[in-house]
Structure 1
Amino acid sequence: MSTVTFRLSDDEKEFMQKMADFNGLSLSELARTKILESLEDQIDLETYNKLMKEHQTKDESISHAEMMKELGL
């Protein structure tokens, strides 16, 4: 397992420690979890933006009424 070190002010460390305690996590678990969640959210947003741009360029959606007709309902 690797170790990553980063610098924090005393106030930032105190805040992070309180949040770790509040969530029942170690400081290391909190940092790892939140950093990974943030990076995954960034990937999700980039994927959404890319696909939305493609959708707007080539919109193949149909209305509810058209779908009902197509399904014979």
Structure 2
Amino acid sequence: MAMISIRVSEAEKDWLTHMAEFYGTSLSDLVKKYSMEQLEDKYDTLMAEAAYKHYQESGQKSVSMQEVIDEFGGFKE
């Protein structure tokens, strides 16, 4: 397994250690988990924005749910 080192101040280390204890996990797992989650969320947001921009530039039109129901009929229970 690869290792990555990061530099933090003593105050940041103390706070991260406190948070790791609070969550009942190791400092390494805490930083890894929350770093990965933040990066994944940011990536998802950027990809959604790019896809939406592409959609807008494509000239395609969306339809409302009401238009779909009107065209294909109502829901049957």
Q: If the length of structure 2 is used for normalisation, what is the TM-score?
A: 0.83
Q: Which is bigger in relative contact order (C-alpha 8 A, separation at least 6)?
A: 1
Q: How many residues align?
A: 73
How many percent of aligned residue pairs carry the same amino acid? 34
The equivalent residue for 1:69 is 70
The equivalent residue for 1:13 is 13
- Whole-angstrom distance in 1 between the partners of 2:5 and 2:16: 15
Is 1:29 matched with 2:29?
A: yes
Runs of at least 5 residues in structure 2 that lack an aligned partner in the other structure: none
Q: If the length of structure 1 is used for normalisation, what is the TM-score?
A: 0.87
The equivalent residue for 1:44 is 44
Q: CA deviation at 1:70?
A: 1.6
